[in-house]
């Protein structure tokens, strides 16, 4: 795996292609045809109309080429939290991974209880950017799919996934 241990930049855009957010330094832990798993810690985050800021806790990330969501696992002191972004599947060119953020987020606690947030933001942007019906269907399916993944403890929603990649990430820091 030539990409493992390499640094990449992650860029989030809005539906119209405008810049939404970026994370500067992210380490690839595993990559295959479908998934890319990595981690970051104290990385610079850039957003429009806001000064750059630095993340405060280590995080793992899980991207899939066929799923309309990505998952960030925030590694807290004695716990962890999943932050799921409803998004387009990722693309990668060179050392830049890009996806489109579709606003809705699912926050999952380590006991697998969860909350769906930012639905109002989605409704606003759906009108502003005129999301096509196919995009809205993919978004609805992604929310359902995340819930099924959580219920069945499918990767990345399980303790084994978190511990395995947390240990791997610690080796590269």
Contact 92, 65 (CB under 8 A): no
Apex CA 56: angle with CA 54 and CA 57, to 5°? 130
Nearest to 157 by CA among 148, 167, 169: 148
Active-site hit among 21, 50, 109, 153: 21
Burial class (CB in 10 A: 0-12, 13-18, 19+), 77: exposed
| Catalytic status, residue 50 | no
Residue 113 is classified by DSSP as -
- The three-state secondary structure class of 52 is strand
Contact 94, 10 (CB under 8 A): no
Apex CA 122: angle with CA 120 and CA 126, to 5°? 120
Residue whose structure tokens are 């978190």: 162
| Residue 79, token pair as written in the block | 């716990």
Q: Which residues are catalytic?
A: 21
């Amino acid at each position: 795996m030539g990409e493992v241990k390499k640094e990449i930049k992650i860029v989030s855009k809005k539906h119209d292609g405008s810049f939404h957010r970026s994370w500067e330094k992210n380490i690839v832990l595993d990559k295959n045809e479908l998934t890319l798993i990595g981690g970051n810690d104290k990385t610079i985050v850039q957003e429009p109309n806001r000064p750059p800021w630095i993340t405060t806790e280590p995080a793992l990330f899980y991207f899939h080429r066929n799923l309309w969501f990505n998952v960030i696992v925030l590694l807290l002191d004695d716990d962890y939290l999943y932050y799921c972004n409803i998004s387009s599947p990722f693309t990668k060119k060179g050392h830049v991974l890009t996806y489109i953020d579709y606003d809705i987020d699912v926050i999952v606690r380590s006991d697998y209880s969860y909350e769906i947030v930012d639905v109002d933001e989605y409704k606003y942007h759906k009108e502003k950017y005129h999301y096509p019906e196919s995009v809205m269907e993919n978004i609805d399916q992604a929310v359902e799919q995340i819930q099924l993944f959580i219920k069945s403890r499918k990767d990345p929603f399980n303790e084994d996934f978190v511990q395995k990649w947390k240990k791997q990430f610690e080796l590269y820091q």
